[in-house]
Amino acid sequence: MKRARRGLECIWRKSRDVSDQARAKAAIRAYSVALRAARKAFTTARIASAANRPSELFRVVGELLRPPEAQGLPDDSATRCSDFAHHFAGKVAQIRLELDSSLIVVPEEVTEVPVCSILWDSFRLVLPDDVEGILGSVRATTCALDPCPSWLVKLAKDGLLDWFVTIINASLVQGSVPSCFKQAVVKPLLKKPSLDPSICNNYRPISNLPFLGKVLERVVAKQLQEFLDDTDFLDCSQSGFRPGHSTETALVALVDDLRRELDRGSVTLLVLLDISAAFDTIDHGILLGRLSGMGLGGTVLQWLRSFLGGRSQMVKLGDSCSDPWPLTSGVPQGSILSPMLFNIYMKPLGEVIRSFGGRCHLYADDTQIHYSFPSESKEAPRMLNQCLAAVADWMRRSKLWINPDKTEALLVSRASDRGIGWQPVLDGVALPLKSQVRSLGVLLDSALTLEAQVSAVAGRAFAQLKLVRQLRPYLVKSDLTTVVHALVTSRLDYCNALYVGLPLKTARKLQLVQRSAARLITGASYRERSTPLFKELLAAVHLPVPIQGEYHHL
């Protein structure tokens, strides 16, 4: 069609005939219509390929708006793989070395196993229906070590179920994890597009495990979660990777505690700990001791010991791979069991903090300590610093490394009480008091007004709307709605229970985002009233921000 259009243009330019001009214009219009239709079909297909997968939708929309640029990595992939492998392994080894050098004797309270009767010593064997349900729910992510694509395994699951059941039950009965399931392939991912791609420290390792190993881990994770629920073992302040808990529940509980102390007239010091490579430095001996201390034994404890030991991973770039290196510490990244084991590992920390009169809220390795006291208290500095010293000591004994330089502190108080004349000290480093800190993605200020958070959310949402507007000519209304809700409304929804009760002047910024999104979807003009537009979008539960927060909170 493009060639025919150019041909008709050439004929008209030579002849200058009116009829040739009309045919050329008709061809140009037809080509423009066909090009727009092709773009719309392509965009619709790309959006449909990421249905019900927000992270994938983010990536697809980003590629549609800004085609990915090739990263400037060296041509020698084999050398690059080796560099990444040495960097990732060396980082963990260096942290462990520094931790070991700071401890002369490992204390008994860390290594000794508490006396506890065995509450769970054998797994419940699985049935074909159990495995079929897990295969249906697990994502089809293929590892380079898999003998065939995972989507093919899921497609042919009816003929493979009995084989899967035999392998899984044999592993559960013998208390052993097959060695082929304990190998991982690591892909380096640049932390930010603006960083230098030639520096290894600017990458984070993304681990991929064999598909069938993930199925086995889900079987164990389901039974382990049932045990944790029945025994109510986990710390009540831990919100990470637990059913019915989320970053929102952690933040709502934290902000509620801080506001209650403000109402009592107290001053609260909030400390956000930064733990370096927390999941990678966990000591296997300490973890197994804590698993035994919570009542695990028999083949259950034997299976978990096998799961942790004998692991290795290698870096893969294109067709090149590094030599595998052994993992002697940490829990495997990408495993559904790892966050659960980490929560068990961190349980004693809450008891340490509460023993000094402090309180804490945890989400996996994000640890938030807050200590409340009267503004004129003279004992508060000593008690808080003792608490932080005990926390730092417990971390060292548990082979976890706190980075004081990245740890943040915030003083929450009334304006008249601002300034206490001293700074908390963590591991010999004075922590400067900041005007605002970011906790689990939410900006908290000293007066808990959340104005900085609302402004930041509104700014990012308007930036996304500006980008989505470029795609609007090539999206049908249903796809446009999907993209807006994924990229814009989701930002407003995140932890919106915190916005309940905010002054109208603060919440109005988010309402303006909603109105702009509604006009973008419906094609309404700027002067048109937004109330009818919200009614049109009720099918997507697109409520005004204050109502959203109250609805979500309830």
Encode pLDDT of 497-543 as tens digits.
Answer: 999 888 999 989 998 898 888 888 887 776 666 666 666 554 444 44
Determine contact, residues 177/305, Cβ cutoff 8 Å: no
CB < 8 Å & 24+ apart, contacts of 49-52: 51/482
What is d(CA 195, CA 192) in angstroms, rounded to the nearest whole number?
6
Confidence at 553, pLDDT banded by 50, 70, 90? very low
Per-residue pLDDT, 210: 92
The pLDDT confidence band at residue 319, using thresholds 50, 70 and 90, is confident
* CA nearest to 345, candidates 238, 229, 249, 270: 238
Output the pLDDT for position 546: 53
How far apart CA 209 and CA 226 sit, in angstroms, is 24
pLDDT digit string (tens) for 382-403? 888 999 999 999 999 999 999 8
Q: 325 near 89, Cβ under 8 Å? A: yes
Q: What residues contact 52, with CB distance under 8 A and at least 6 apart?
A: none
Residue 204 contacts residue 188 (beta carbons within 8 Å): yes
H or E, element range at 411: strand 408-412
Query: How confident is the model at residue 310, as a pLDDT?
Result: 93
Which residues are registered as beta bridge partners of 312?
183, 326
Sign of the dihedral defined by the CA atoms of residues 175, 179, 181, 183, in that order: positive
Confidence band for 23, pLDDT divided at 50, 70 and 90: confident
CA distances to 26, 200, 275, 369 from 396, in Å: 76, 27, 11, 17
Closest CA to 464 of 492, 441, 437, 438: 492
Q: What is the mean pLDDT of residues 353-379?
A: 88
Q: Is the pLDDT of residue 184 over 70?
A: yes
Pairing of strands 311-317, 183-190: parallel
- What pLDDT score does 33 carry? 83
What average pLDDT does range 168-184 have in this prediction? 94
Most confidently predicted of 56-65, 66-75, 121-130: 121-130
Residue 341, pLDDT above cutoff 90: yes
Query: CB–CB of 184/332 below 8 Å?
Result: yes
The candidate with the shortest Cα–Cα distance to 256, out of 372, 348, 355, is: 372
Does the pLDDT value for residue 484 go beyond 90? no
Q: Write out the H or E segment, with its range, that includes residue 413.
A: none
* DSSP assignment letter at 120: B
Could you tell me the pTM of the whole model? 0.84
Contact 113, 292 (CB under 8 A): yes
* Digit-coded pLDDT (tens) for 208-242: 999 999 999 999 999 999 999 999 888 888 888 88
pLDDT tens string 263-318: 888 889 999 999 988 999 999 999 999 999 999 999 999 999 999 999 999 999 88
* Predicted local confidence at residue 103, as pLDDT: 64
- Is residue 405 within 8 A of residue 429, CB to CB? The reply is yes
